[in-house]
Structure 1
Amino acid sequence: MERQRVSTGTDWESTVGYSRAVRTGDTVRVSGTIATDDEGEVVAPGNPSEQTRHALSIVADALAEVDASVADVVRTRMYVTDIDDMDAVGRAHGEVFGEVRPAATMVEVSGLAAEEAVVEVEAEAVVG
């Protein structure tokens, strides 16, 4: 099976042994993504709306690298450190996906890979 891999080039990817996204055939899976800048620093610490928008922009960039887009997304998973942020995260998700309306799950978790991160997003897309 042929795989197209997307890498952001972070040390974390090579240490853990994963890719930002992997495309096999018409399916693209994007790894859990938190809102970080090019230096790996968390963007908008503690701000669930801005972190969701930023994480989803990273997801969109990864999709584009394997000839997919947010219009192809069929499933998302959102992990939040405080379920009270559900509305803010959900609204930001809706801004990005609009009428695409992928199947979505949101769950509260006790923590994420970076202390300042309050949301992490995964996505799956089917192209074509």
Structure 2
Amino acid sequence: MSGKNKTESHGVPWEEGYGYVQALRHGDTVYISGQVAHEGADLVAPAPVDADGRVTDFRNTAAQMRRCYVNAALLLERFGASLDDVVDEVIYVVDAAEGNAVAGTVRKEAYGRPDPQVASTLVGTPRLAFPELLVEIKLVARL
């Protein structure tokens, strides 16, 4: 990579297992891999799942979404940036109705304003990397 490129990771086991970095700065753009709700290697507010690994309760969606933004902010800080520098986000949710119900409030909290100045897409998906995950957020920031 050129001298202007830089990568960052959280140091969690799934980075090596899957083979990726959490963030990559290329020039003046920072690409943040999908952030999930974890602190260290522990999931935050994991959803309850049944014996087949299906989510039985989606009420932790907001709590997980908040933690996704915290993790993204931690990465952005390493580049001298913040959520104020985010220009695009994709929010993946296991339950689109619940995700849509909480996203407005959580996003406004995370960005610290009633009208976050970021392009945003909310996508419903049947499952994420771990069965207990309800939310994953991918971001692009400009420095």
Amino acid at match of 1:81: V
Q: Say if 2:106 is the partner of 1:75.
A: no
Counterpart among 114, 117, 125 of residue 130 in structure 2 = 114
Counterpart in 1 of 2:107? 93
Instruction: Give SS of 1:57's match.
Output: helix
CA distance in 2, matches of 1:51, 1:89: 11
- 1:102 aligned to 2:118? yes
* Counterpart for residue 41 of structure 1: 42
Larger radius of gyration: 2
TM-score by length of 1: 0.92
Q: Which residue in 1 is equivalent to 2:52?
A: none
Amino acid aligned to 1:70: L
Gaps of 5+ in 1: none
Aligned residues of 1:3 and 1:23 also touching (Cα < 8 A): yes
5+ residue gaps, structure 2, are 48-59
Distance 2:39 2:103 in 1: 19
Q: Is the Cα–Cα contact under 8 Å of residues 29 and 125 in structure 1 kept in the other structure? A: yes
Identity of paired residues, percent? Answer: 33
User: Hey, what's the Cα distance between the residues in 2 that align with 1:45 and 1:18?
Assistant: 23
